[in-house]
Structure 1
Amino acid sequence: MNNSPISKISLEGRDFYVKRDDLIDPFLAGNKYRKLYTLLKTPSNKLNKIISYGGTQSNAMLAIAAVCKRKSWEFEYYTKPLSKTQKSFSHGNYFHSVKLGMKHIEIEESFYKDFIASLSLTIDVTTFIVDQGGAVEDAKKGLEVLAEEIRSANLKLRSLATPSGTGTTALFLALALPEFKIYTTPCVGDVKYLKQQMQALSEIPKNLIILEPNKKHHFAKLYPEFLDIYKKLLLSGIEFDLLYAPGMWEALLAKTDEEILYIHSGGVSGNESMLKRYEQKSFY
């Protein structure tokens, strides 16, 4: 794959650069491509099955499904029970993942945590587990590739930004680019939770700056201010996801003032279902 291009946009009177990882692949794009880079490079005959778990709006779920489709691997994905309404959707990440061959398995909520903790006890050498959000040590290689792409662009700026779920992307990017300032903000949980997730993988480097959100946001909940930022970004010429990007852009606009390269996380395939939810609430 060729290096993803860099675009320039204007937002609320400021210029930003955007690393267009969203253009890599319709389903396997953005930070999920980077996190799953090692898995993509794994020979097809080395594995038979991939197992993962989490939510059904997950961009990682869809990206893993796309990898398994390419490699002819089985893909089992575990979640808490879903509503009949969500299962009936003909759009969104869950719908596309099932079409790509994902086997979805529901676990009762009272057993879910213990079941997930026991997954690694039952696998063999031909099965690989991807933790929720793609937060695995193997993600480091893909972020090192991204770091080299950024260096080769020879930009004058020295500040980058990427939103965080588990913080894997921001952490490994900061480790790979010590000469850059890396901004991130928690989109799932709070700053304390984000630091705990990162510290499970590595010591947090000094060049990684976590911006505290203006207010607490619950993941995947609808917020008019997030929709407003989404629309402004769309007018700038680039579509961003509605789950992670708005919180990051809100923090950047409020708490930074320098030139910044935003790493596009992809995930726009989930916008269709999110926009329908905004329409149902008469926000859109």
Structure 2
Amino acid sequence: MRKAKIFLSYAMADEKKVDFLRDKLVENNFEIRNDSGIAPGTSWHDIISYELNASDFLVICLTKKLFRDGKLSFAYDDQFLEDAKKRDIAIILVLLEDLIIPDNLKQFKYVDLRENKYAEADLLIEKIKFRSSITFDNLSPKRFEDMIFDLLSKLNFLNIHKETTKLDKGIDFIANYIEQDPFGRKRKETWLIESKLYRQERFSLSSLKDMLARHKYVSIDDTKLLLITNSLLTSVVREYIGELHQANGIDLRVIDGNDLKDIIADNKAIQIKYFADEQLS
């Protein structure tokens, strides 16, 4: 197995605080890249983009010194983070001090190293090792669909109904989810879920439009749509999804290959059942 390449980002003033994590990653045979050697006057964004293209993980060490006037002092803006996700680069936050995580980073999981930093660092390394080994190549379409069924249960979906071949309109599952508002009131939502396993090609805009067309044949009012795929979405598909709710009131969520790997890496039961070979490698 090739070395996983990790871009380790932190404030220059926190170098000593991050030393223990860098050392642990190196000890576990990861290739480490960072932004500490960028010379003054150099285009930070250009250099980081170049280094990120060659990385599998972006690990951001969050400390107060990484912020300036309440904002990240580095350019981790929405476009930068979106570009990283489109390149299948996993983003992991490492919390080293008490602080409020900015809104645009809250979508990512974080590892808390404020107290038991060595034990938590070991768990982080275990997660990175497994995630970097995940491949869907050994899963048949049927096995992938079975995994999604189990995963929906782990994500707290209820009454998961797998569509039969006779009735199937292209929607693989119908399930309920209990949503709770800030005042404690609960509401049962109905979700139509489609899973897509791809070998080489990416999920296309035409496939998405086919899914929306099939949705019209399912006579359930006020439903939400969920697409789960191992593929990465193209920028055209992402823009189209963003416009759907505003233009048509359609609530469509997507778990793409990057997100799916993150969810699997956090779920031991799924790992054991579907990725035993990767765990042993």
Taking structure 1 as the reference length, the TM-score comes to 0.22
Using CA pairs under 8 Å that are at least 6 residues apart, name the structure with larger relative contact order, 1 or 2: 1
The structure with the larger Rg is 2
Taking structure 2 as the reference length, the TM-score comes to 0.22
Which structure is higher in strand share? 2
